[in-house]
Every structure is written in structure tokens, then in C-alpha cells.
Structure 1
Amino acid sequence: MTMNEPIAVMRRPSIEAAIRSAIADPRRKRQLLEATGWDDSMLSKLVQEKPAGITLDKLDAVLAALDHVIVTRRYLDAMCTMGKVGMFCECARAGGGECGSTR
């Protein structure tokens, strides 16, 4: 890795890390089990990398229990652009160009 690589390449959060973190916290583990209807044996399969067969109908429940949502890169790119430009920029909204511009 180099410092020129995007942050997403340098440090990639994962569902695996989120699940492992939830399992380590008794309250979050209980939420995950309740949301999915799984028992402890399913979590053991997941962390031991045994075939667990997470079904599609459980994916939303897993993500919700982990407090994660799925968004597209396009959406995130748009949010980054708005953040750079200044989504609450009074200058731009008044027709004066972007804040910080050398107009």
C-alpha cells in the first residue's frame, strides 16, 4: 500500500469484522441472534469459516442488527462532492459561486 491509494483500499471495513465485533459484545450478539433467528451454532460456523449458508432473506436482518446499510459508490461519491463544494454553502445558494472560489 502507498499513501496515494484511496482510503478504501488502505483500510477496508468488512462485514466479517463487523460480525466478529458483534459476537464479542454480548448485547450486540443477542441482537444479531434475535434478528436472524439463529442460534450460537450458526455464529460458530461463521467465525470458524465453515460453510454457514447465510440465506438471502437473512442478509438484511444481519446488516440491520449490525447497524449497517448498503449504499452505492455513486451515492457516496455524490456525498463527497457535496461535502467538498459545501452542501450548506450560502454563497452558492445565493448565486455567488462556491465558497473558497477565487471569483
Structure 2
Amino acid sequence: MDKLLELMAEIDIPSAYDHFAEGESPDPPFITYLLPGSDNFAADGKVYFRITEVHIELYTDEKNPEVEALVETVLDAHGIFYDKTEVWIDSEKLYEVLYSFETED
């Protein structure tokens, strides 16, 4: 988790784990991040190597390649291989760009 917090500090966009408290969401762009699961490696019936799934969700009110490039530059600088997807959330009037990757614990 410390490495993830370092990434968030480098990206330097308002961020929160999972969600912002009701009524405290900043104006876009902002990020939420979470650790939705694991993909651990087993050996001899035990967890031999811990791998944590990470989601970084970037929210913008319009398509913003510059902000996406900022996030990607930080991830690239740390040698993180990520998948990227994008969706328009009509009910929120926001774009969500999701960066998914795995990291060692």
C-alpha cells in the first residue's frame, strides 16, 4: 500500500481510497484507487508469492488526454504494466479511465 500511496502523491491529483465521503468529492479531475483482489502464487499449499490487484480510476468531466498522460507517465516511470479501459458514466456525467495492474506485496 505504501508504494500505491507514493504513486498517488506523484500523480498529484486529488485522490481517495475507494470513494470520497458524501458531498466531499472534488471537482474533476480526481482519482479513486482500490485493491479489489489478489492473484497469489501458491506452492506447497501455501501462499508463496503475494500479488495484489490494483485499480486506479481517473474521473474527468471531459476527455482529457493530458491528465491521462500524467497518470501513465508516473506508472511508466515505475515500470508498471497496466491495462487501460474507458467508460462514460451518464448518470454522473463523467468519464472513468480505469488503470488495472498487479503489484507484489
Shorter-chain TM-score: which interval?
under 0.3
Structure with more relative contact order (C-alpha pairs < 8 Å, separation 6 or more): 2
In our comparison, the structure showing a higher alpha carbon Rg is 1
Name the TM-score, length of structure 1 as normaliser: 0.24
Name the TM-score, length of structure 2 as normaliser: 0.24
Higher strand fraction (1 or 2):
2
Higher helix fraction (1 or 2):
1
